[in-house]
Structure 1
Amino acid sequence: MGIGVGSGAGYSSTSLALGRSAGGLASSSSAMLLGGSALTSNEKNTLQNLNERLAAFLGRVKSLEESNKELERQIRECGTRSIVGFDWTIYDQTLKPIQKEILDAVLQNSQIALEIDNAKLAAEDFKNKYESELALKQSVENDILGLRQLKDNYQSLQACLVDEIAQLEDEIAFLKKDHEEQLRNLRQQKTSDIDVQVDTGPSVQIQVTQTTQANLASDGVKAELTELHNQLQVLETDYSSLLGALKGLENNLMNVESRYDMELQKEQTIIAQLEGELGRIRSNILAQTEEYKNLLNIKMNLEKEIQQYRVLLSGGSESLGNPGISISSLGGKGTEGTTTIITTTKMEREKR
């Protein structure tokens, strides 16, 4: 607050000059009254008028001196008075909780974004694991399909071999039966021929040769039968091993399928939980975003109001710093030609 002070150093001298001029006028008027024989009636009226004007002038001077003293007192008070600034604490009490809420909302949004990134990474890991398990399942299914085709091929080969073995067994049985009949016929012929004649030598030799050939043929058939029987045993052994391998593969397939189903159920449960958590996080993010927008709007409105208050306060400070100063001059001529100038100061205050 600036205060303009007018020059008031000549108050005592002015009052002394006025007193002297008034004393001079009074003495002259008294002298004139004492020598009244020499004065006319017009001069008396003039002297009386001057005395009245002097009395009014002295009263006005006295009132101006009192007002000047009051102004000096107010100036001294204003000089010693301390200027109190605007109290911003009332806005701090309102803004600090909002700023804290905004900071908490920003931190919470950052935490939620971090949780979303972690959930996305976990979902990506589960997706990769699911794809790897799916590829493993497809490879196992392809292996099982190939083994089933191999099983079908072996089963068809087994059926062919069983038919061939049955035919060979029938042929062996027929050969055995034929060989036994031939042996029985030969034995009957040997026991029936008691009388041996000389001319029958070639026929006996022929029969011996036939018997030898039959024995050789029987031995060949027996060897072939033994070889076929050995082949059958080898094929049965291979078939049994293939059946065992197929059974083991089927058991492995069942175990893999059960384990895959369990893993798939776990993955689906985890994915459902993650999707639910992601939905909750999205709803929380939407709510936090809405709350953050509301808080931001409140902050902007408060900043606008604070700016308006600052503009008003800066305008009030400028008006208080430039008070109006009015100067009035009063001039009067006495008998001695004395001129008096009185300065007054007017202060205006504006409060909001």
Structure 2
Amino acid sequence: MGALCVGIGPLDLEAAAADNQAFLSTRTSERQEMVTLNDRLAIYIEKVRSLEQQNKMLETEIDALKGRFVKPSGLRSMYEEQLRELRRIADQMKVQRDLATAAKEAMAGQLELVKVKYEEALEARKKAEREIEVFKPDVDAATAARIALEKQLENLEVEMEFLQRIHKQEIEELMAQIYGTVAKVDVSFSLPDLASALKQIQSQYDSIAARNLQEMDAWYKTKFQDLNVASSRHVESLRGIREEITALKKDIQNKQRELDALRTRNEALQAQIRDAQEKYMKEEEELQARIEALKVEMKMVKEKITLLLKEYQDLLNVKMALEIEITTYRKLIEGEDSRLTAMVGSLSLMNVGAGLVSASGLGLSQGAGGTATALLKAAASSSSVKSQGTLGEVTQEQAVEVTERKTMLIRTVRADEDIIHRDSQERTITISGAVSEMDE
């Protein structure tokens, strides 16, 4: 019976030693794993700190960008006043262009009227010239007749003067003959009184000459008056035609000056319209270039904001994943610590039971075998009960699970054209781990 008892003791010690060795090897591997996990945790913590610093820097940069560009639509509001002013200037230029076009059309209408009047004046001038050409033979004939009558009058005057001179000479010769004859008669013998007869003849010739002279003078005056009337009539007609031609020439000159003035004004208005159109096109091109530059700048800012938001979202995701991993590792470490503590307690109880068994073996060699056997059985039963209780407690402790809920705030920022959308979501993460009653 003692040998059995002695044999039972070493068997329990070997099992305990094997368990202890296995525990030590497991503990060593677990220590190494814990060291590795601690190193990884330190690396992760350092990485989290650096990411948090980068996150803070990015948040600061994003806040600065938000302060600078609160909304991309602010760019439009910044240039809205200038755009309104430029639109107002463009509208004014359009109104001026419309007014200039209307003035140009009015000038074109006046130009057409002036052209019509000019054509009418030219037609009247041509008509007057044709009438002049028609009346010119009559005028030439009247002028030739007047010249011929004037020459005839001069010839008649010369002839009358010649006849008067001849008549006077004849009278003088007759008077001389009569006086000579009377003188001879008075000396020789007495002749009849011829003086009265001569005087009578002279008076008759004088009356005939005077009557002829009067008739010639009357005929000349009548003809000259007729010629003067015809000439004055033609002269008046020619004067009226000339005056009409002069008036038409003056009217044509005035219309020509007005036409030149209208052409000059039209050219000036067209030059103003061209200048205004060139200025408007140039300003429109400058505004279009500025708008394109602003669009490019807005696109670059949007792309930069989108990139920063994406990086920020990635950092938030990384941060959330790291926080989840850190929490998981923390719970695993806490659960492993509680399990190791429970295993250390069970091993200490097993060592106490082994000591009691060895003490019982020594007592059997010295004294009552039955009592030692009873003590050994009692110790073994007590140790087995204790170890079973301890293992049950460890199993129970390992079976206890604590569920931790962690609420994380996830901010999502996205840029949509000119608007930045921000979404804040709360996500609850459930982390399960085995802990001891001490942890609870």
Bin for the TM-score computed over the shorter chain: 0.5 to 0.7
Which of 220, 236, 241 pairs up with 2:261?
Answer: 241
SS of match in other structure, 2:311: helix
Q: Would you say 1:97 and 2:63 are equivalent positions?
A: no
Q: How far, CA to CA, are the matches of 1:165 and 1:140 in structure 2?
A: 36
Q: How far, CA to CA, are the matches of 2:219 and 2:143 in structure 1?
A: 24
Q: CA deviation at 1:176?
A: 4.6
Which of 206, 221, 232 pairs up with 2:241?
Answer: 221
Q: CA deviation at 1:272?
A: 1.5
Q: CA deviation at 1:290?
A: 1.8
> Which residue matches 1:259?
279
> Which residue matches 2:148?
188
Alignment of 1:2-41 (within 5 A): none
Indicate conservation of the 8 Å contact 2:58/2:308, yes or no: no
Which of 145, 159, 183 pairs up with 2:101?
Answer: 145
Higher RCO structure (Cα 8 Å, ≥6 apart): 1
Percent identity reads 15
SS of match in other structure, 1:262: helix
Q: Would you say 1:282 and 2:302 are equivalent positions?
A: yes
Any gaps of 5 or more consecutive residues in structure 2? 1-41, 157-215, 342-435
Which of 256, 259, 272 pairs up with 2:292?
Answer: 272
Q: CA deviation at 1:242?
A: 1.2
Computing the radius of gyration over CA atoms, which structure comes out larger, 1 or 2?
2
Indicate conservation of the 8 Å contact 1:102/1:295, yes or no: no
SS of match in other structure, 1:145: helix
Q: How far, CA to CA, are the matches of 2:49 and 2:305 in structure 1?
A: 28
Q: How far, CA to CA, are the matches of 1:186 and 1:288 in structure 2?
A: 116
Q: How far, CA to CA, are the matches of 2:217 and 2:58 in structure 1?
A: 139
Indicate conservation of the 8 Å contact 2:107/2:266, yes or no: yes
Q: Which amino acid aligns with 1:191?
A: K
SS of match in other structure, 2:72: helix
Any gaps of 5 or more consecutive residues in structure 1? 1-86, 321-347
> Which residue matches 2:178?
none
Q: CA deviation at 1:315?
A: 11
Indicate conservation of the 8 Å contact 1:126/1:267, yes or no: no
Which of 97, 117, 120 pairs up with 1:161?
Answer: 117
Q: What is the TM-score normalised by the length of structure 2?
A: 0.44
Q: How far, CA to CA, are the matches of 2:52 and 2:218 in structure 1?
A: 148
In structure 2, relative to structure 1, the CA distance for the partners of 1:101 and 1:299 (3 Å cut) is: farther
Indicate conservation of the 8 Å contact 1:172/1:221, yes or no: yes
How many residues are treated as equivalent by the alignment? 238
Q: CA deviation at 1:110?
A: 0.6
Indicate conservation of the 8 Å contact 2:128/2:241, yes or no: yes
Indicate conservation of the 8 Å contact 1:165/1:232, yes or no: yes
Write the deviation string for residues 5-38 of structure 1: whole angstroms up to 9, x where unpaired: xxxxxxxxxxxxxxxxxxxxxxxxxxxxxxxxxx
Q: How far, CA to CA, are the matches of 1:145 and 1:154 in structure 2?
A: 14
In structure 2, relative to structure 1, the CA distance for the partners of 1:249 and 1:270 (3 Å cut) is: same
Q: CA deviation at 1:184?
A: 3.5
* Cα RMSD after superposing both structures: 4.2
In structure 2, relative to structure 1, the CA distance for the partners of 1:159 and 1:93 (3 Å cut) is: closer
> Which residue matches 1:209?
229
Indicate conservation of the 8 Å contact 2:58/2:312, yes or no: yes
In structure 2, relative to structure 1, the CA distance for the partners of 1:349 and 1:212 (3 Å cut) is: closer
Q: How far, CA to CA, are the matches of 1:248 and 1:171 in structure 2?
A: 37
